[in-house]
Structure formats: structure tokens, C-alpha cells
Amino acid sequence: MSRERGERGGELDRGGQRSAGREGGQVRRSERQGMERLGDLLPEAARQLGLDEQLEQAEAIAAWQRILTERVPAAVGSCRLVALVQGVATVEADQPIVAQELRLRAPELMAALRSAVPPPVRQLRITARHV
């Protein structure tokens, strides 16, 4: 047998070294402390790969969906943030009535978007999609 029990109860490998990782089938607490959440690592990795713009766009789209869900739930699924370029957020609505509702609430929506999105949003442009 290649492993034997050490005097402290952990397993030893052939060289007499304690095996890393598990004691009694459980991961040691000290090993978990060095781990990081994948979601925390992705933004930095995206920046290193030169994907800053795409990451900001994705964050803005997610923020828009949250804002819409909170403030204009009837418009969820009927409009989307399609661009955020040089401080102009462009929202496309599927129907003119949805576009009109968003225009009426534009100051409120823009203020919420400004506080949620890193690049400063200075204008909210709402268009009705032509089908």
C-alpha cells in the first residue's frame, strides 16, 4: 500500500509527506480561503483581454433589465438596451406604445441608469422598432 497513517491521523504519501487536500474526505478550511468566485475574476480577465467595452455593454444591459423590472414591469420583454456609446443609451421598443411610456418616464429611467452604469449616461434615446 502506498499510503499509511501518520501520527496526527492524516494520510502520508510514499515520501512521508502529508497528502494535500483532504482529511477524512473533507476539504480543509485553509484551502477554501484561497479560492475566489469566478464572477469576481471575470471582469479583470476581460479587461486583460481587451474586452472592456463589451463588458461595460453587458453590465449596462443587465442594469437596464433590473431598472425596467423595478420601474416599468409592463415593458419587460418589449424593449431592450441595444447600445451605450459615448454616453448615449439607445433603447429599442417593440411597439410604439411601449416607446411612448419609456419616453414619459425617461428622466426617472435615466437617473436610475446613471447611478447603475459606470460610464456617465447623458442621454436616453428611445426608438420604436419597425417590423
pLDDT digits (tens, 9 = 90+) for 77-91: 999 999 988 889 999
Is beta strand 79-85 parallel, antiparallel or unpaired with respect to 88-93? antiparallel
Average pLDDT of the chain to the nearest whole number: 81
Query: Residue 114 belongs to what domain range?
Result: 52-128
18 assigned to some structural domain: no
* 75 within 8 A of 67, measured Cβ to Cβ: no
Distance in angstroms (rounded) separating the CA atoms of residues 62 and 56: 10
pLDDT digits (tens, 9 = 90+) for 102-119: 999 999 999 999 988 876
Q: What is the CATH number of the domain that holds 100?
A: 3.30.300.180
| φ/ψ (deg, to 5) at 25 | 80, 5
44 assigned to some structural domain: no
Tell me the residue type at 125. R
pLDDT for res 126: 96
29 assigned to some structural domain: no
Three-state DSSP state, 40? helix
pTM: 0.64
